[in-house]
Amino acid sequence: MVTDVVVDRVMRRLARAIDGMELPAVEKIAETRQDDPFQVLISTLLSARTQDATTLAASTRLFSQARTPAAMATLTVRQIEELIYPVSFYRNKAVFVKQTCKVLVDRFGGRVPSTLEELVTLPGVGRKTATLVLILAFRSRRHICVDTHVHRIANRMGWVRTRQPSETEQALYQATKRKWWPVINLYLVTWGQNVCRPVYPRCNECAIVSDCRRVNVTHVGKKQDKPEGQT
């Protein structure tokens, strides 16, 4: 089990190291439109398995046509598909967007609900999306959002030993102090996109290598000319 001292040191180093790195797309949208949980929700739905730049462009196109659940519910699935293409699974996501908007209008008075239990009843919204919306749009300090980056890095560092992101979320509630919960996703997703990549992590340039157990890491990426993320 990781100690509080190590978690504190790693999180402080990551906070410094990610400063200046590109923010994940949904974080960017939340930063500029944090008073609009609807846009955070829809962007998060679009972001699954999609490059950040694609998510950002698709979200911008979609919101230029409809900014509220009521307005978006009037778009056809075909129109939504055309606006969000080429996000991954754009056909499925267009259906989910349309259905979610309709549910928001019919059951929630056109507003995004602010509880995990209600959010996961929306079409296409799983626990990962729901926790991210709660953290980014409702400033929740009681949730950790675990995606593939958080799951992978928490296991590599030796903070948890889990097979599924859902197990990782529960294990992280035990392994880390509450003050870190709202930023674990931001720090580890940014780190995962830039340094601790799925394949060939850049351990030689990693700011937290001295605290990382590097569990199951067998091949590392080549050192770049200009190190990124070093403190």
Residue nearer to ligand SF4 on the CB measure, 24 or 201: 201
Per CB under 6 A, 214 contacts ligand SF4: yes
Q: How far is the CB of 210 from ligand SF4 (least distance, A)?
A: 9
Burial 196-217 (b: 16+ CB within 10 A, else e): beeeebbbebbbbeebbeeeee
Token pair of 209, please? 């290598």
Q: How far is the CB of 153 from ligand SF4 (least distance, A)?
A: 6
Query: Taking CB under 6 A as the criterion, which residues in 146-205 touch ligand SF4?
Result: 153, 156-157, 195-196, 201-203
Q: How far is the CB of 177 from ligand SF4 (least distance, A)?
A: 19
Burial 105-144 (b: 16+ CB within 10 A, else e): beebeeebbeeeeebeebeebebbbbbbbbbbbbebeebb
Query: Taking CB under 6 A as the criterion, which residues in 92-151 touch ligand SF4?
Result: none
Residue nearer to ligand SF4 on the CB measure, 106 or 200: 200
Q: Which residue has the tokens 């307005």?
A: 71
Residue nearer to ligand SF4 on the CB measure, 73 or 171: 171
How far apart, in Å, are the Cα atoms of 16 and each of 57, 215, 230?
28, 24, 9
Give the chain's end-to-end CA distance (angstroms, integer): 25
Residue nearer to ligand SF4 on the CB measure, 90 or 187: 187
Stretch binding ligand SF4 (CB under 6 A), from 46-54, 74-82, 90-98, 211-219: 211-219
Residue nearer to ligand SF4 on the CB measure, 127 or 197: 197
Binding ligand SF4 by CB under 6 A: which of 164, 217, 223, 227?
217
Per CB under 6 A, 229 contacts ligand SF4: no
Q: How far is the CB of 151 from ligand SF4 (least distance, A)?
A: 13
Which long-range contacts link 219-226 to residues 24+ away (Cβ below 8 Å)? 221/197
Cα(68)–Cα(36) distance, integer angstroms: 9
Size of interface with ligand SF4, in residues (CB under 6 A) = 14
Burial class (CB in 10 A: 0-12, 13-18, 19+), 59: buried
Cα(221)–Cα(199) distance, integer angstroms: 8
Residue nearer to ligand SF4 on the CB measure, 69 or 201: 201
Per CB under 6 A, 208 contacts ligand SF4: yes
**Which positions lie near ligand SF4, rule CB under 6 A?**
153, 156-157, 195-196, 201-203, 206, 208-209, 212, 214, 217
